[in-house]
Structure 1
């Protein structure tokens, strides 16, 4: 797997942690933001686990978890923006990054599954 998805998911986690810190410090919101920071940091953690997977199915499984966590993060971002905890600009910046990581992850999963079928 390319390092690009590892790098992008790590940068995504950094942005997520910064948003979490801002929300908790300035808006004193702890419930939604905690859910968000857990899912956004889980994306990169599961991608890292996938890279170290022992088998191709393990690799695909861990990437699938990362994909689900990324999608969940997008939900929390939508909710945080809709409830005015983050601005539209903050939302768009990180949401677009989430979409990019999600697309890359999906593509890797599809390619990996096809490679298993063709081997």
Structure 2
């Protein structure tokens, strides 16, 4: 599952990069694009860091960051969608699924301490 999630979060980051390159050249779109690039790519980077955690406590803490960044990405995607700039339903579905997966992992690890 770890390799699948590494691939999946990396694909999400690439999809985010591809999306922001197509956003309109307006001040508001640039601000949202900047925020989305940071949070969307952070999901993949922080998941990779979490997999290198030295303890369950560290793993859970790093996954907490992943969840926060994914949630922030979801907000920016919702704004893009609601502004009507692009149909981002597939990205919204993916980020929602990723959030659910990571929340589930955290719950499972917390219920089975070292």
Same fold per superposition (TM over 0.5): yes
SS of the equivalent of 2:54 reads coil
The CA RMSD over aligned residues, in Å, is 1.2
Question: What is the CA distance between 1:111 and its match in structure 2?
Answer: 0.6
Count of residue pairs the alignment pairs up: 111
Distance in 2, matches of 1:3 and 1:59, equals 16
Return the structure number with greater relative CO, CA threshold 8 A, min gap 6. 1
Q: Aligned to 2:91, which of 89, 94, 109?
A: 94
Question: What is the CA distance between 1:55 and its match in structure 2?
Answer: 1.3
Structure 1 length-normalised TM: 0.88
Deviating above 6 A after TM superposition, structure 1's stretches of 4 or more consecutive aligned residues are none
Structure 2 length-normalised TM: 0.91
For structure 1, which runs of at least 5 residues remain unmatched after alignment?
none
Question: What is the CA distance between 1:63 and its match in structure 2?
Answer: 0.5
Question: What is the CA distance between 1:2 and its match in structure 2?
Answer: 2.4
SS of the equivalent of 1:30 reads helix
